[in-house]
Amino acid sequence: MTIVQSAVYEPLTEQKATALAVRLGLFRDGAPLLCREIGDGNLNLVFHIVDQETKQGIIIKQALPYAKVVGESWPLTLKRAVIESNALRTFASYVPQYVPNVYYSDESLAITVMEDLSHLQIARKGLIEGKTYPLLSRHIGEFIAKTAFYTSDFGMNQQEKKKLAQSFVNPELCKITEDLVFTDPFFDHDTNNFEDELRPDVEALWEDDRLRLEAAKLKRKFLTEADVLLHGDLHTGSIFASDDETKVIDPEFAFYGPIGFDLGQFFANLLLNALSRPESERRPLFDHIDQTWDVFTSVFSELWRTESVETYAATPGLLDEVLRQAFVDAVGFAGCEVIRRTIGLAHVADLDGIDQKVERLTAKRHALRLGRRLIVERAELAGTDGFRRLFVETER
Ligand X SMILES: Nc1ncnc2c1ncn2[C@@H]1O[C@H](COP(=O)(O)OP(=O)(O)O)[C@@H](O)[C@H]1O
Ligand Y SMILES: CSC[C@H]1O[C@H](OP(=O)(O)O)[C@H](O)[C@@H]1O
Is residue 123 a contact residue for ligand Y (CB under 6 A)? no
Query: Which amino acid is residue 109, in one-letter code?
Result: L
With residue 41 as reference, give the H or E element that holds it: none
Report the SS3 class of residue 49: strand
Q: Smaller CB distance to ligand X: residue 80 or 373? A: 80
CB of residue 100 vs ligand X: minimum separation in angstroms? 5
Q: Smaller CB distance to ligand Y: residue 185 or 260? A: 185
What backbone phi and psi angles, to 5 degrees, belong to 81?
-70, -40
Q: Smaller CB distance to ligand X: residue 336 or 346? A: 346
Is residue 42 a contact residue for ligand X (CB under 6 A)? yes
305-337 residues labelled b (16+ CB within 10 A) or e (exposed): eeebeeeebeeeeebeebbebbbbbbbbbbbbb
Q: Smaller CB distance to ligand Y: residue 106 or 250? A: 250
Is residue 176 a contact residue for ligand Y (CB under 6 A)? yes
Of 36-44, 80-88, 193-201, 294-302, the window that binds ligand Y (rule: CB under 6 A) is 36-44
Q: Smaller CB distance to ligand X: residue 125 or 389? A: 125
CB of residue 89 vs ligand X: minimum separation in angstroms? 14
**Residues 47-86 interacting with ligand Y (rule: CB under 6 A):** 67, 69
- 118 is in the binding site of which of ligand Y, ligand X, none (Cβ under 5 to 8 A by kind)? ligand X
CB of residue 123 vs ligand X: minimum separation in angstroms? 10
Of 148-156, 176-184, 221-229, 317-325, the window that binds ligand Y (rule: CB under 6 A) is 176-184
Is residue 350 a contact residue for ligand X (CB under 6 A)? no
How many other CB atoms are there within 10 angstroms of residue 380's CB atom?
Answer: 11
Is residue 237 a contact residue for ligand Y (CB under 6 A)? yes
Name the DSSP class of 392. H
Q: Smaller CB distance to ligand X: residue 115 or 290? A: 115
- 39 is in the binding site of which of ligand X, ligand Y, none (Cβ under 5 to 8 A by kind)? ligand X
Is residue 251 a contact residue for ligand X (CB under 6 A)? no
Which residue in 17, 33, 43, 228 binds ligand Y (CB under 6 A)? 43
Spatial CB neighbours of 326, under 8 Å, sequence gap ≥ 6 = 258, 259, 260, 263
Which residue in 59, 76, 229, 259 binds ligand X (CB under 6 A)? 59
C-alpha to C-alpha distance for 164 and 154, rounded to whole angstroms: 14
CB of residue 320 vs ligand Y: minimum separation in angstroms? 32
Do β-strands 57-63 and 44-51 pair in parallel, antiparallel, or remain unpaired?
A: antiparallel
Long-range CB contacts (< 8 A, 24+ apart) of 154-163?
A: 154/304, 154/308, 154/309, 154/310, 154/313, 155/303, 155/307, 155/308, 155/309, 156/309, 157/309, 158/309, 158/310
Name the binding residues for ATP: 44, 61, 115-117, 250-252
Q: Smaller CB distance to ligand Y: residue 70 or 156? A: 70
Which of 333, 328, 343 has the alpha carbon at shortest distance from 379?
A: 328
CB of residue 125 vs ligand X: minimum separation in angstroms? 8
Name the binding residues: 44, 61, 115-117, 233, 250-252, 340
C-alpha to C-alpha distance for 218 and 104, rounded to whole angstroms: 37
Q: Is-contact 215 186, C-beta < 8 A?
A: yes
Spatial CB neighbours of 274, under 8 Å, sequence gap ≥ 6 = 282, 285, 286, 391
Which of 38, 41, 122, 36 has the alpha carbon at shortest distance from 76?
A: 41
Instruction: List residues binding ligand Y (CB under 6 A).
Output: 41-43, 67, 69, 176-177, 180, 233, 237-238, 250, 345-346
Could you list the residues that contact ligand X (CB under 6 A)? 38-44, 46, 59, 61, 100, 114-118, 122, 238, 249-250, 252
